[in-house]
A and B are shown apart, each in its own frame.
Chain A
Amino acid sequence: MTNDFKKKKSQKEQTFGDVMRSQGVSRRSFLKFCAATASMMAMSPAMIPKIAHALENARRPSVIWLSFQECTGCTESLTRAHTATIESLIFDHISLDYHHTLQAAAGHAAEEAREAAMEENYGKYLLVVDGSIPMGNPGYSTIAGISNYDMLMETAKGAAAIIAVGTCATYGGIPHANPNPTGAVSVNDLIKDKPIINVPGCPPIPVVITGVLTHFLTFGTIPELDHLGRPKVFYGQSIHDRCYRRPFYDKGLFAETFDDEGAKKGWCLYKLGCKGPTTYNACATTKWNNGTSWPIEAGHPCLGCSEPDFWDGGGFYKSLSMPTENITQTAIYTAAGAVAAGVAIGAMNKSKKNSAIAAHDKTTIDDLEK
């Protein structure tokens, strides 16, 4: 196959190898990426050539991206590749046939693009969803006059697999926060008959989505998932267990405020409300912004954004061992009520005792002689 011939290939027929070569990526750096991916996803080194081979020959998969009740933060996160990395090429490689924020088309043209992609790749396309679906009233969120629910159900029918991106799509997220005014639900609340990969986070780490895509391109299957539908390779361990500040927790050395000695020395942020102990995500190992840093390294406690209902945990700065309700007030009111109740019950007991004494007949000699 000559280079000229390859250039004549239509964009849709291009393999990932073609895309890489056209971008001037060397084979050496490609193999490095494959090795990094294999290690990141806890695969054996024997898988590296397989990943390389499969990726090189992978055709552009059609991807339809639906955005429902969301803030576009997930898209912002996933498209924030600062340099032309191979990870970003993965994004370039997929045929993103429909995405509100990124596509040029608008209105009917946009919807036609979605319908065309669905028809052309029926049963084969990947569906990516960010945002929750309002079930309270279909009018709360519509696209081109179609309710989120209808669009999701229609598009999901022909999907090979669904990737729910962000905490809103995976668990309902912020729209689902108490009192959930729109009746927001997650993708897997509605769809039961398709493989769904949950990639939670507010927003999720970009490398997690590229890892999932790489897995799908390489094996044509979805990675192993945990009980909440999250890829185990990224969500298998808690922030707390991989946190570089963990030794301070174990020793009982905590920052008490954001600017005390403990904070300056980089001690554990548990007392400042860190949700690391109950949060499963890859932040502690992959970090953010091309591995620059992550919230705890920047001195802020983990908010627990990749867990369900992270918004309803009683406040981001309340530590996990603290009650979420105002227990002081509860205790005072209870004590006041209980004192009144206790005195009343005591008085009742006393009157019972007194009446028992009054009703007590003394036994006389006469009684005994009867």
Chain B
Amino acid sequence: MSEIEFLNWVRGPGFQIAVIIFIAGIIIRFAEILMLGRKANLAEPKGSEMSGGLHTIVSRSFPDKSTFQRSTFTVVAGYLFHIGLFVTIFLFAPHILMFKDIFGFGWPSLPTPVVDAMAVVTIIALLAVLAHRMSDTVLKFITTKEDYLVWMLTILPLVTGYMAFHRIGMTAPTLLALHILSVELLLVVFPFTKLMHGFTFALSRWYNGAISGYRGVQS
């Protein structure tokens, strides 16, 4: 297989397979979660489930003071790489072009050098969280193989994307193909690993908030 054939495969059938697994995986998992249902709460409601739930979806995005003081590093590095991922994935002109091709609409992009710098920040933040995870005894103890796999699959598209943009090490078609392939790997494992939190975070936060809301306490 030549490098252009490889590129054509990842842009064509490879991407198609990845999207099928990604979408099917997410929908089936959501259906399973939602249809599982919850036991009816026989206690008299003291407040609204909905308002407590919605409030928590938003409020959990901001660390409270004590959490921030206790785990400053985790919060800062975590924020950095999540914002970095958002910027690099959704605000880079060639990526928006891909979304436009799929959704039928696009949105404005950030200047390329800004996205480039953000990619570097994100890579550094991800390396830092891994170093932290491996050096902290407790964190290391509770880390599973899946966590390492997920970390690897998250940083790979960033590293390959950076290499493809700056054309480092290999020929341009190979670099671009490897970048797209790394994204496809991420899409394939996404619904079946902790990466799924990208979608389920709203459900779990809502549930947490709703419990408090039902009881009429602050969520």
Contacts and interface: CB of A to CB of B under 8 A. Distances in A.
A30 to B, nearest CB: 37
B106 to A, nearest CB: 10
B198 interface: no
A325 B4 contact: no
Interface in A284-319: 304, 307-310, 312-314, 318-319
A330 B28 contact: no
A321 B4 CA distance: 14
Nearest to A304: B4
Contacts of B110: 252
Contact of B176 (A278, A280, A324, A343): A278
Interface in B3-26: 4-5, 7-8, 11-13, 15-16, 19-20, 23-24, 26
B27 A309 contact: no
A343 B16 contact: no
A252 B36 contact: no
A252 B102 contact: no
Interface stretch (A87-95, A144-152, A332-340): A332-340
Contacts, number: 140
B111 A252 contact: yes
Interface stretch (B48-56, B93-101, B209-217): B93-101
Interface stretch (A62-70, A117-125, A345-353): A345-353
Contacts of B93: 252, 254, 270-271
A304 B3 CA distance: 13
B31 A325 contact: no
B104 A321 contact: no
A320 B171 CA distance: 15
A250 interface: yes
Contact of B94 (A238, A313, A320, A342): A320
A335 B19 contact: no
B30 interface: yes
A337 B95 contact: no
Contact of B19 (A314, A322, A330, A349): A330
Interface string B28-44: 11111011110000000
Prevailing SS type, chain A contact patch? helix
Interface residues of B, number: 44
Contacts of A314: 8, 11-12
A323 interface: yes
Interface in A174-205: none
Q: How large is the interface on A (under 10, 10 to 19, 20 to 34, 35 or more residues)?
A: 35 or more
Interface in A266-292: 270-271, 277-278, 280
A314 B27 CA distance: 29
A250 B6 CA distance: 26
B23 to A, nearest CB: 5
Contacts of B172: 238, 240, 277-278, 280
A342 B16 contact: no
B113 interface: yes
Contacts of B112: 249-252
Contacts of B2: 171, 228, 308-309
Q: Which of B26, B28, B34, B113 has the most CB of A within 10 A?
A: B28
A318 B35 CA distance: 41
Contact of A346 (B16, B35, B104): B35
A143 interface: no
A241 interface: yes
B47 interface: no
B12 A350 contact: no
Contacts of B27: 335, 338-339, 341-342
A320 B5 contact: no
A334 B101 contact: no
Contact of A323 (B12, B31, B103): B12
Given A251-B112, A321-B98, A331 B7 contact: no
A241 B27 CA distance: 42
B167 interface: yes
B78 interface: no
Contacts of B74: none
B208 interface: no
Contact of A331 (B12, B19, B36, B37): B19
Contacts of A342: 27-32, 35
A254 B112 CA distance: 11
A355 interface: no
Interface of A: 171, 227-228, 238, 240-241, 249-252, 254, 270-271, 277-278, 280, 304, 307-310, 312-314, 318-325, 327-328, 330-331, 334-335, 337-339, 341-343, 345-347, 349-350, 353
Interface of B: 2, 4-5, 7-8, 11-13, 15-16, 19-20, 23-24, 26-32, 34-37, 93-95, 97-98, 101-104, 109-113, 167, 171-173, 176
Q: Which 4 A-B pairs have the closest CB atoms?
A: A342-B31, A346-B35, A321-B94, A338-B27
Given A341-B28, A342-B31, 5 more contacts: A254-B93, A331-B19, A341-B31, A343-B35, A346-B35
